[in-house]
């Protein structure tokens, strides 16, 4: 069970994605009342660039901006920034990047992404992490994991300093590329943050699906079973049971709604 200021959510739960603050092709009423979506996801990177988090704050946060009555989760924007190969520079302070809209330069830090998400008013926020590609050299996988842990520590210190009794939860993200031991090491160190929930990131970056399952399974016995565990960017229909069986509570993916509005049809796979 995930408890938020906008209701308690039974898990496991799949979260539809409203990248720009709207799940395309569906009204909030249909999404909430007819389809029963208790929580949806919006994208910090895109909302930061357009229309801007301060404007969203003035309009009542994402809940007012979207006319959405239920819970919201925002990612930190890290995945989108790290996909901008050639248009970003990673430094210990944070990541500098160029907007894909107009080429303007911006910086995300562990602290600033918390502030942006606080302005958006989501119920669950994500820390800034470093998402390495697949495949990746072992040395860089280790470097990205170590930086992810340091950034998570900074984000949590800032979150607790600016809001001692927060209504918005903050989740750290397990990284470590496709290395089981790196992921286990990362998960153990993130436990020290005593977070309200934990996420597993760095998947759906081109790796074979059995490897994705293995990376989720690698930390199943480490991440707390009494707190939500969120596997980021997964959720094709035939995969849901695989992730749930490995201890996953929360998933998200753009494919179900994207495929639906584009008239995609897929025959269900036969169970093995």
Cα torsion angle, 59, 123, 193, 109, sign: negative
Q: Would residue 163 show up in a list of annotated catalytic residues for this protein?
A: no
Are 198 and 169 within 8 A, CB to CB?
Answer: no
Q: How far apart are CA 166 and CA 118, in angstroms?
A: 10
Q: Determine the longest span between alpha carbons in the chain, in angstroms.
A: 52
Going by C-alpha positions, the residue among 218, 213, 217 that lies closest to residue 236 is: 213
Q: Which helix (H) or strand (E) holds 75?
A: strand 71-75
Q: Would residue 129 show up in a list of annotated catalytic residues for this protein?
A: no
Annotated active-site residue in 123, 179, 185, 252: 252
* Helix pair angle (138-162, 110-120), 10° resolution: 50
Q: How far apart are CA 235 and CA 244, in angstroms?
A: 10
Task: Return the beta strands (E) in 100-241 as ranges.
Answer: 105-108, 124-126, 169-171, 173-174, 198-200, 229-231
Helix, coil or strand: residue 126:
strand
Annotated active-site residue in 75, 179, 185, 249: 75
Residues belonging to the active site: 75, 252
């Amino acid at each position: 069970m995930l408890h938020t200021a906008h209701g308690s959510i039974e898990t496991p739960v799949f979260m539809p994605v409203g990248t720009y603050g709207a799940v395309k092709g569906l009204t909030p009423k249909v999404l909430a009342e007819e389809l029963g979506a208790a929580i949806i996801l919006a994208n910090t990177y895109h909302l930061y660039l357009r229309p801007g988090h301060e404007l969203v704050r003035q309009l009542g946060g994402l809940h007012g901006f979207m006319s959405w009555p239920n819970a919201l989760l925002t990612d930190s924007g890290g995945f989108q920034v790290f996909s901008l190969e050639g248009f970003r520079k990673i430094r210990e302070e944070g990541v500098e990047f160029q907007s894909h809209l107009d080429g303007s330069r911006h910086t995300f830090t562990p602290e600033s992404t918390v502030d942006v998400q606080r302005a958006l008013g989501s119920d669950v926020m994500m820390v800034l992490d470093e998402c390495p590609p697949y495949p990746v050299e072992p040395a860089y996988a280790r470097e990205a994991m170590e930086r992810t842990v340091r950034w998570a520590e900074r984000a949590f210190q800032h979150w607790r300093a600016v809001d001692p009794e927060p209504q918005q939860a903050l989740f750290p993200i397990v990284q470590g590329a496709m290395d089981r031991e790196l992921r286990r090491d990362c998960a153990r160190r993130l436990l020290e943050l005593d977070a309200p929930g934990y996420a597993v990131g760095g998947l759906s970056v081109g790796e074979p699906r059995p490897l994705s399952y293995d990376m989720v399974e690698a930390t199943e016995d480490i991440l707390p079973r009494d707190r939500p565990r969120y596997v980021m960017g997964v959720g094709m229909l035939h995969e849901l049971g695989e992730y749930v069986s490995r201890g996953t509570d929360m998933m998200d993916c753009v494919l179900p709604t994207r495929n639906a509005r584009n008239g995609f049809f897929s025959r269900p796979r036969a169970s093995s």
